[in-house]
């Protein structure tokens, strides 16, 4: 088994692109209509109209193919809305992020990306996507004249706890958890100093 980095150096147009699109579509369709345990490479290949050996050569094992499809679906399609304040935007984004990731499909996508192995660079795209979204909001806040935390701090204080809870605890966190993380982060960041308010409702 040789290490491969599919989709990195793939030819952009023509047959290769068509095959990739067809296989991705086949995976999404079959994941929607059948149990995950019933999917096999030959089944996906048949739906996509290619031979199994093509899939094996380009993606290797099934988990790698899932990881590729998952990253594709994880890419955000819209920029966060301009709501006038950083806290409102971060809160809205974090709540939506939590709800999407804590859902069944979201959890499976995260697991798929990680199941692809820690040696493939695809998993880094997840934090890049989130970081880029956060940067948009931070830039807007700076343009308003606010004093804001930096991008990595938001990743540490908001995104990381959400993902950690989704991956390693039961039950999955609720939307209020994201709101609390954002509030705690911004409570001491700029002007307002002081210890965070005591909370009795932490799980």
Partner DNA sequence: CATCTTAAAGCGAAGCCTTTGCGTTTAGCG
Partner DNA sequence: CGCTAAACGCAAAGGCTTCGCTTTAAGATG
The footprint of a second copy (CB under 8 A) covers 1, 35, 37-38, 63, 107-108, 110-111, 114-115, 117-118, 121, 123-124, 126-127, 150, 152-153, 155-157, 159-161, 163-165, 167-170, 181, 188-190, 193-196, 202-203
**Shortest distance, CB of residue 27 to DNA, whole angstroms?**
13
Residues binding DNA (CB under 7 A): 1, 9-16, 19-20, 40-43, 49-54, 56-58, 60-62
Is residue 64 within 8 A of residue 116, CB to CB? The reply is yes
| CA–CA dist 110, 167 (Å, integer) | 8
One DSSP character per residue, 42-100 reads HHHHHHHTS-HHHHHHHH-SHHHHHHHHHHHHHS--SPPP--SSHHHHHHHHHHHHHHH
Taking CB within 5 to 8 Å according to partner kind, which of DNA, a second copy, none is near residue 169? a second copy
Taking CB within 5 to 8 Å according to partner kind, which of a second copy, DNA, none is near residue 145? none
Taking CB within 5 to 8 Å according to partner kind, which of DNA, a second copy, none is near residue 40? DNA
Nearer to a second copy, 10 or 124 (CB): 124
**Shortest distance, CB of residue 107 to a second copy, whole angstroms?**
5
63 class by beta-carbon count within 10 Å (0-12 exposed, 13-18 middle, 19+ buried):
middle
Cβ contacts of 187 within 8 Å, gap of 6 or more: 194, 196, 197
Nearer to a second copy, 19 or 69 (CB): 69
Taking CB within 5 to 8 Å according to partner kind, which of a second copy, DNA, none is near residue 81? none
**Shortest distance, CB of residue 66 to DNA, whole angstroms?**
12
Instruction: Tell the residue number behind the tokens 């345990």, with chain if given.
Output: 37
The CA-atom distances, in angstroms, between 119 and each of 14, 73, 122, 128, 170 are 29, 20, 9, 17, 28
**Shortest distance, CB of residue 47 to a second copy, whole angstroms?**
20
**Shortest distance, CB of residue 68 to DNA, whole angstroms?**
13
| CA–CA dist 114, 53 (Å, integer) | 24
């Amino acid at each position: 088994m040789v290490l491969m980095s599919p989709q990195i150096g793939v030819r952009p147009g023509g047959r290769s692109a068509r095959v990739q699109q067809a296989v991705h579509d086949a995976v999404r369709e079959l994941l929607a209509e059948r149990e995950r345990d019933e999917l096999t490479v030959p089944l996906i290949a048949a739906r996509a109209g290619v031979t199994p050996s093509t899939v094996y050569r380009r993606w290797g094992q099934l988990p790698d193919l899932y990881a590729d499809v998952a990253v594709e679906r994880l890419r955000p399609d819209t920029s966060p809305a301009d709501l006038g304040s950083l806290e409102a935007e971060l809160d809205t984004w974090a709540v939506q992020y939590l709800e999407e990731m804590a859902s069944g499909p979201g959890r499976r996508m995260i697991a798929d990306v990680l199941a692809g192995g820690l040696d493939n660079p695809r998993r880094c795209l997840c934090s890049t996507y989130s970081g880029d979204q956060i940067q948009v909001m931070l830039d807007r806040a700076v343009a308003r004249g606010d004093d804001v935390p930096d991008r990595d701090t938001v990743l540490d204080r908001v995104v990381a706890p959400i993902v950690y809870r989704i991956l390693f605890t039961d039950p999955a966190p609720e939307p209020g958890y994201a709101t609390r993380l954002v509030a705690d982060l911004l409570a001491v960041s700029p002007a307002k100093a002081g210890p965070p308010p005591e909370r009795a409702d932490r799980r």
